[in-house]
Amino acid sequence: MSGARIEIAASILNADLGALRETVQAAEAAGVDRIHLDIMDGHFVPNLTFGLATVEALRSATKLPFDAHLMVLSPGLWATRYVDAGCESVAIHVEAPDQHRATLDAIRDSGGRAGLALDPETPIESLVPFRDELDFALVMTVKSGFGGQSYRPEAAGRMAAIRKLVGERDGHPLPLHVDGGINATTAGDAAAAGADLLVVGSALFSAQGPTGMGGAVRAIRESATR
């Protein structure tokens, strides 16, 4: 863990898709730091989710930063369009058969923060050729493309090695985001492994009881700071 306050990004993949504006606003009221948007094209991963029109429609619902996670076959065709739609950061997958360096540079030139995501089975060395273009890495602790999967601690455990491989940014360790199975039970492990940002979906939007989503956010923060 870097020592700084760990951020929580609410992934709306498992939210009520019929009331996304209200869902985003509820997440903001619950105390999350960001909104995480999982963009799937039905080709790079089997599922198909929302796209630019949805992002543009949601942008006015909140002042929270938007993070786009592009699980698409050709991220170079789309990445800067998500920056233009209001996403502060865009992560593309290193496994996609595309020209990553040009795409990462284009994201940054467009004013966004550029990241590479990698699945649990992908060698961490795949990030090394692009380390000078990275603003963050998105470490998947589940296989990309499906919500509601169980957290894999061995995938999170690779973060220390990733930091050594990719080095620093502006004198600080490269920020690491973790996505997959994060809840009040697993957040502490992810934080101890080195996460700076936790992407949380099901644990927020399935929260029950009198405290609801706000209680889930607080529990995750407490777990991450123990």
Selecting among 33, 38, 98, 119, the annotated active-site residue is 38
Selecting among 98, 135, 179, 196, the annotated active-site residue is 179
Place of tokens 């999982």: 38
**Distance separating alpha carbons of residues 66 and 68, to the nearest angstrom:** 6
**Angle at alpha carbon of residue 111, lines to 107 and 114, rounded to 5°:** 40
**Distance separating alpha carbons of residues 36 and 52, to the nearest angstrom:** 14
Would you call 38 a catalytic residue per the annotation? yes
Q: CB-based burial of residue 199 (10 Å sphere; 0-12 exposed, 13-18 middle, 19+ buried)?
A: buried
CA 21 to chain centre: 19
Would you call 196 a catalytic residue per the annotation? no
Task: Write out the H or E segment, with its range, that includes residue 10.
Answer: strand 7-11
Rg (the chain; Cα; Å): 16
**Which residues carry out catalysis?**
38, 179
